[in-house]
A and B are shown apart, each in its own frame.
Chain A
Amino acid sequence: MVIASKYWEIVKIDAAGKKRVQEIPTAKKFCTQIFGTLNISDAEVQSQLWKLYTTKSSADKHLLAECCLLCFISWIIEQSCLKLAEKFGEYHGFSYADLLPYVLDDDGRFPRNNSYESFSQRILKSFDQKRGSLASWTSVKVKQNPALSQFLLECGVYLVSDWAILNDTKPKQLERILREFHCLTVKEIEDYKKILHSYHGVYRSQRLQQRSVGIRGKCPAPTNEQLQQIANSLSVESVPLKTSDTIITRLQNLSTLLRQYRVHVRGGLLPADSLDAVVGSKGNGLIDKIPSTSTAIANPGDSEEEESEFLQFYRPQFQACLQHALATVIDLRVKQLEKKKGDKAKTYLQALQLLHCQNIKMTDIAYRLGLRGQDTVTRLLKLKEFRADIHQQMLVKLKETVKNKVYTSYSIEKIQSLEDRITIALNEQIHKVIEEATSPSRGDKSSPKSIFDDRLCKYLDSRNKFI
C-alpha cells in the first residue's frame, strides 16, 4: 500500500462555508521524501510522523510532520461527522455539512498562522501515543466538542459527558456496578471510590459555583488545577496518585466503565427510546406503533345490561365531550407554547391542521413550515401525549356528565361500581375514535374523515376565525 493522500490533503471549510479538499504541496513532498513508495501501514506512518513532531531536533521537520498529522485529523473529523449524520441526520433534520463548521476550523495554510490554534491542533496537542491511536483520540475529541454538542442538543441528540456521568454517580452505585457488572476486585473498587469521592468534592462544588455566576453548558474536562486538588485530597486518604496525569486517566477509565454499564442498561431496559426513533418516511409511522393505553384502569365486574344502560346515557354526550376535550387540550398546549420564543403556537396549530385535515406527511409538514426535520414536528405535536390527553379529558368530562345524570337515582355504592364500568366503556369508545384517526389508511385522500378528524378540523377552523 502506498501512503495515502490523507497526509497531505486537508479537509476544510472555505470562505463560502463549503467543504473543500485542499492539497498542501510541501506536505506531499515531505511525505514522499520520507516514505517514498514503501508499502507501509497507517500505524507506522503515524508513528514516524509523531516522532518527528515530538522530537524537536529540527524545527522544519516538526512543522511539516505537524502539518501531515493535521491533514490526517481533518479526514477523521469528517468521518465522524458523516457517521453522526448517517445515524441521526434524517430524523433530526441535519446534514453532515451542518456539523463540519463546528469542528473543521483549520484554514490549511502552510506555514501556519501562529496566533490561532485550530481544533485539530488542540486534538494533536492533547494526544498521547501511549493511550491509543490518533484516529480514535480524534473521534473522542469530536464527540466532546462543546459547540458541536450544543448544536446536536438543539436537534434533539445528546451525549452525556464523562464528567456529567461522574457527577451523577453515587458511591453505592459505583460499588455495585464495579462489583457485579465489571467484577473488579475489592481493592480496585475501594480505590475508585476514593477517587470518585475526591472528584465530587472538587469538581461538583466548582460546577455549582460556575453555575451560580451564569456559566452554562456541558461539563468541561477538569482543569489541571482541579486535578491537582483532587490529587491532594487523595494523598490525604493515602492513595498513591500524585500526578494530574494519572488522575485524569483514572477518572476517564472510571467514567468509561460506568458508560459501558449505562449503554448495557439503556439497550436492554429502555426500549421506549426507540419510539421516537421510527423514521417516518411513510406517513405517521410513529403513532401507529403506540401501544394502547386503554388497560390503564383496573378490571371491574362486567354486567352487559348495565353497560348498555350506561351507553344510552353517554351516546348523546359523546360528541359534546369530544368537542370539550379537543378545546381543553389544544388550548393548554397553545397557552404553553405562547410563553416560548417565536411563533411556536401558530406553527403548532398549522402543523395540526396539515396533519389531521390535509393528510400531509410529517416530513412534508416539516418542509412546509420550515422546521428542521421530522423530529422537530414530533416534538411540537407530541402526538402520543396529545392522544392520551384527549382520551383522558373526555373521560373526565363524561364521568362528570354521566355522574350528574344518575346521581339522583343511584346509591353511592352503585355509582362507585358504575364509575368502574364507565371507565372501561369510555376507554374502548374513545380508543376506537382515535384509532380511526391514526389508522394506516389515512394516506388515502379519498377515504372519508373520521369523527375525530372531522371534529378536530372543525375546531381548528373555528379557532382560525377568531385569530
Chain B
Amino acid sequence: MTYLTTTYSTIQEFEKLPASAVELSLEDINKSIEITTEFSSEQIKWQIYINHLALCVFQKWLLNREDKLDIVIDKCTLFTPAIATFVDAIGKLQVGEFKICLLTVASLTDEKVSIPRAVIDLPEYIPHFYVLVEVLEEEEMGIISGFIPYDQLVKQKIDTQIQPDEDWIYEIPLTWFNNNLDTLLLYLRCLEVTTISLPIIPNHSHNLSTIGNELALLLPELKEKELKSVLNWEQGSLILTIPELFNWVYQLQSQPKNTTNNLYLKQHLVDLIKLLSQPVLNVGRWLSDELDEIAKELSWVLLPSLSLASEMKPMRTPEEELEVIIRQLHQKGLEIPTQARGAYQDFKLVGIPLRLYAVTWHLLEEYVSPEWTLLLILGAPALSSLPSNLKLRISDQIGILVDQGLNPASGDSYLFTRVVGGWEEKFIVSISLMDGIEVTLPTFSFNLET
C-alpha cells in the first residue's frame, strides 16, 4: 500500500491563522482536563475536553470585545455530567439576557454541522443563538466561526424540510451560519431579547404518567446501551428534560459492570417515576389546620394539635391512638415539637386493613436552609397486629431512603420512620407485602405558601 499523502502538495495544507483566533492558555487546558476526570468513558472524556476548550474560547473572545456583557456559565450543560454526556453541545449559556448554545467544530472542517436534536427541539435547551467554535486542540487555539439565531434556523429547517436522523442529530449545512461575528456582537449589544421568541418550556408530568410504566421497564436496559438505541424520541425527550431521570440513567451507566446495585436502582426508578408523575400531597397545609384537595380526595383525616396529656382509655379514637404512639416514641428519645400536626388514612392491602399516620413539622434553624420532617407510623386500626412480612419504603429524588420491615423481636404493633428534607424535596411512600403486592401513596411535599 502506498502513502496517499504524497499526492498532496505540502504547501496547500498549511493555513493562515485568522487574526481573530483566540489563544488558549495553559490554565484553560488544565481546567478542561480537570473536568474530564469525573467521567469514566474515554470517548466522553474527549468530548467534554474539547467542549470545555470551546467554552474557554468563547469566553475569551467575548471578553476581548466587550466587557459589559455578563457571561453566566453556572447552568451550562457542560457542568451537568449527564447532559454533557448525552448531548454533544454546550447549552444553557447566558450572555446578557441571551441564551447561547455553543457547537464545537473541530479541526476537521465539515460541510455539515452535527447538532443534537435536544438543543433544537427541546425548549429547555433552545438558545437565542447557536454559535460555532472551531477548536484547534493541537495549536492551543480557537476560532469563533459562525452563528445562527434560533428563529432563522427554524425557518430554514421548515423550508428545507431537514429532519433529524436516527441518532437524534440534525446535520445542518455550514452555509446556514453567518460567518460575520461582528453581527452576533451587534445583536448581543443592541437587540431586545424579545425579538427572538423561544418556545415555552412545557410541564412533563402528564406525559410521564402516561409512559411511566414503559420507562420503568426500558431504562434499566440503558446500562450498556445508548439512549437512542433503547428509547424512541418521545421517551428520550422526557429523559433529557427531567433532571431526576437523566441523573438516574447517568448513575446507572456510571456503575461498575457487575454491580449488585442494579436491583436497588431499579426499585428506586419505579419510585422515582411515581414521585414525578403522581399527584402531590402538601402536608405543609396541615400546619395551617387544613387538608389540600388531594388529601381530601384520598380521605385523609386531619387530627387536632398533639397533646401528650390525655389518659389511657380502652376504646381509643385515632387521635388518642396517635397520642399513645407518640408517647412511646418520646420515651424512645424522639422529640416531637408541639406545633407538629398529624393526619391519618385508612386503606386496605389485599384485604388487610391498615392505617398510616403522618406527622409533619418544620425545622428552622438560623444558619441552615429550612427543612421539614415527615414522621410515618404504619399500623392497623385499633393497633391490632400487623402481617409479619409488611414493609415500608420511602424514596426521594436521589435514592431509596428507608426500606424496613417489622422487627418481630421488638413486640411493636406498628412500623415507624422519620425522614428529613429541604423544602423543595418530596418523598414517595410504598407499603408492600413480601410477595410483590404493593401500594404507593401520593407524593408527600411540604409547602407553606399554597
| A residues in contact with B108, CB < 8 Å | 165, 168-169, 173, 258, 261-262
Binds B, one of A66-74, A310-318, A343-351, A384-392: A384-392
Within the complex, the shortest CB–CB distance from B59 to chain A, in Å, comes to: 13
Give the interface size bracket for A toward B: 35 or more
| A residues in contact with B14, CB < 8 Å | 84, 87-88, 143, 152, 157-159
A132 part of interface (Cβ distance < 8 Å): yes
- The reply to whether A392 and B190 form a contact with Cβ atoms under 8 Å apart is yes
B156 part of interface (Cβ distance < 8 Å): no
Within the complex, the shortest CB–CB distance from A124 to chain B, in Å, comes to: 16
- The reply to whether B42 and A205 form a contact with Cβ atoms under 8 Å apart is yes
B8 part of interface (Cβ distance < 8 Å): yes
| A residues in contact with B106, CB < 8 Å | 167-169
Binds A, one of B16-24, B218-226, B319-327: B16-24
A395 part of interface (Cβ distance < 8 Å): yes
26 inter-chain pairs at a CB distance below 8 angstroms, sorted by A residue, are A83-B10, A131-B3, A136-B6, A137-B3, A143-B14, A159-B15, A160-B15, A176-B171, A211-B33, A212-B33, A216-B140, A246-B1, A258-B108, A265-B111, A265-B174, A276-B18, A277-B16, A296-B183, A296-B186, A296-B187, A379-B19, A384-B20, A385-B20, A389-B182, A392-B182, A392-B189
Q: Contacts A157-B15, A205-B45, A211-B29 known; A168 to B107 CB distance under 8 Å?
A: yes
Which of B26, B108, B171, B186 has the most CB atoms of chain A within a 10 A radius of its CB? Answer: B108
Within the complex, the shortest CB–CB distance from A183 to chain B, in Å, comes to: 15
| A residues in contact with B445, CB < 8 Å | none
The 5 closest A-B pairs by CB, nearest first: A168-B106, A388-B182, A256-B4, A136-B6, A164-B138
| B residues in contact with A382, CB < 8 Å | 19-20
- B335-354 interface code vs A (CB 8 A; 1 in, 0 out): 00000000000000000000
How many angstroms from the CA of A200 to the CA of B46 in the assembled complex?
9
B161 part of interface (Cβ distance < 8 Å): no
| A residues in contact with B30, CB < 8 Å | 212
Q: Contacts A131-B2, A131-B3 known; A332 to B67 CB distance under 8 Å?
A: yes
- The reply to whether A378 and B19 form a contact with Cβ atoms under 8 Å apart is yes
Residue of A nearest to B32 (CB): A211
| B residues in contact with A87, CB < 8 Å | 11, 14
How many angstroms from the CA of A303 to the CA of B169 in the assembled complex?
45
Binds B, one of A53-61, A111-119, A267-275, A458-466: A267-275
How many angstroms from the CA of A277 to the CA of B16 in the assembled complex?
8
Q: Contacts A157-B14, A395-B190 known; A204 to B111 CB distance under 8 Å?
A: no
Q: Contacts A258-B108, A296-B186 known; A336 to B64 CB distance under 8 Å?
A: yes
- B79-112 interface code vs A (CB 8 A; 1 in, 0 out): 0000000000000000000000000001111111
| A residues in contact with B17, CB < 8 Å | 153, 156-158
A423 part of interface (Cβ distance < 8 Å): yes
A17 part of interface (Cβ distance < 8 Å): no
- Checking A262, A291, A297, A379 against B186 with a beta-carbon cut-off of 8 angstroms, the contacting residue is A297
B302 part of interface (Cβ distance < 8 Å): no
| A residues in contact with B10, CB < 8 Å | 80, 83-84, 139-140, 142-143
How many angstroms from the CA of A382 to the CA of B182 in the assembled complex?
12
Interface residues, chain A, with chain B CB atoms under 8 Å away: 80, 83-84, 87-88, 91-92, 130-133, 136-137, 139-140, 142-143, 152-153, 156-161, 163-165, 167-170, 172-173, 176-177, 200-201, 204-205, 208, 211-212, 214, 216-219, 246, 249-250, 252-253, 256-263, 265-266, 269-270, 272-273, 275-277, 291, 293, 296-297, 332-333, 335-336, 375, 378-379, 382, 384-385, 388-389, 392-393, 395-396, 399, 423
How many angstroms from the CA of A423 to the CA of B49 in the assembled complex?
40
| B residues in contact with A336, CB < 8 Å | 63-64
Residue of A nearest to B43 (CB): A200
Q: Is the interface of A mostly helix, strand, loop or mixed?
A: helix
Q: Contacts A143-B14, A156-B17, A216-B140 known; A165 to B3 CB distance under 8 Å?
A: no
Q: Contacts A201-B42, A256-B8, A332-B67 known; A392 to B185 CB distance under 8 Å?
A: yes
How many angstroms from the CA of A360 to the CA of B8 in the assembled complex?
40
- The reply to whether A172 and B42 form a contact with Cβ atoms under 8 Å apart is no
- The reply to whether A253 and B1 form a contact with Cβ atoms under 8 Å apart is yes
- The reply to whether B167 and A172 form a contact with Cβ atoms under 8 Å apart is yes
Residue of B nearest to A216 (CB): B140
| B residues in contact with A293, CB < 8 Å | 180, 182-183, 186
B179 part of interface (Cβ distance < 8 Å): yes
| A residues in contact with B2, CB < 8 Å | 130-132
B260 part of interface (Cβ distance < 8 Å): no
How many angstroms from the CA of A134 to the CA of B400 in the assembled complex?
68
- The reply to whether B190 and A208 form a contact with Cβ atoms under 8 Å apart is no
Beyond the given pairs A167-B106, A291-B180, A296-B182, 12 more chain A to chain B contacts, judged by CB atoms under 8 angstroms and listed by A's residue number, are A131-B3, A163-B138, A252-B5, A259-B13, A265-B109, A277-B16, A293-B182, A296-B186, A336-B64, A382-B19, A395-B186, A396-B189
How many angstroms from the CA of A262 to the CA of B108 in the assembled complex?
6
Residue of B nearest to A130 (CB): B2
- The reply to whether A158 and B139 form a contact with Cβ atoms under 8 Å apart is yes
B12 part of interface (Cβ distance < 8 Å): yes
| A residues in contact with B45, CB < 8 Å | 204-205, 208
- The reply to whether A176 and B1 form a contact with Cβ atoms under 8 Å apart is no
Q: Contacts A165-B108, A170-B114, A256-B5 known; A160 to B18 CB distance under 8 Å?
A: no
B438 part of interface (Cβ distance < 8 Å): no
- The reply to whether B174 and A332 form a contact with Cβ atoms under 8 Å apart is no
Residue of A nearest to B48 (CB): A208
Residue of B nearest to A266 (CB): B109
Which of A91, A137, A153 has the most CB atoms of chain B within a 10 A radius of its CB? Answer: A153
- The reply to whether B16 and A88 form a contact with Cβ atoms under 8 Å apart is yes
How many angstroms from the CA of A205 to the CA of B47 in the assembled complex?
11
Residue of A nearest to B167 (CB): A172
- Checking A140, A256, A269 against B174 with a beta-carbon cut-off of 8 angstroms, the contacting residue is A269
B293 part of interface (Cβ distance < 8 Å): no
- The reply to whether B110 and A395 form a contact with Cβ atoms under 8 Å apart is no
- The reply to whether B46 and A269 form a contact with Cβ atoms under 8 Å apart is no
| B residues in contact with A132, CB < 8 Å | 2-3, 6
B425 part of interface (Cβ distance < 8 Å): no
B290 part of interface (Cβ distance < 8 Å): no
- B131-159 interface code vs A (CB 8 A; 1 in, 0 out): 00000111111000000000000000000
How many angstroms from the CA of A62 to the CA of B7 in the assembled complex?
30
| A residues in contact with B167, CB < 8 Å | 172
Residue of A nearest to B67 (CB): A332
How many angstroms from the CA of A69 to the CA of B14 in the assembled complex?
27
- The reply to whether B183 and A263 form a contact with Cβ atoms under 8 Å apart is no
| B residues in contact with A263, CB < 8 Å | 8, 12-13
B352-393 interface (Cβ within 8 A of A): none
- The reply to whether B109 and A270 form a contact with Cβ atoms under 8 Å apart is yes
How many angstroms from the CA of A269 to the CA of B105 in the assembled complex?
14
Q: Contacts A173-B110, A388-B185 known; A161 to B5 CB distance under 8 Å?
A: no
Within the complex, the shortest CB–CB distance from A373 to chain B, in Å, comes to: 12
- The reply to whether B46 and A167 form a contact with Cβ atoms under 8 Å apart is yes
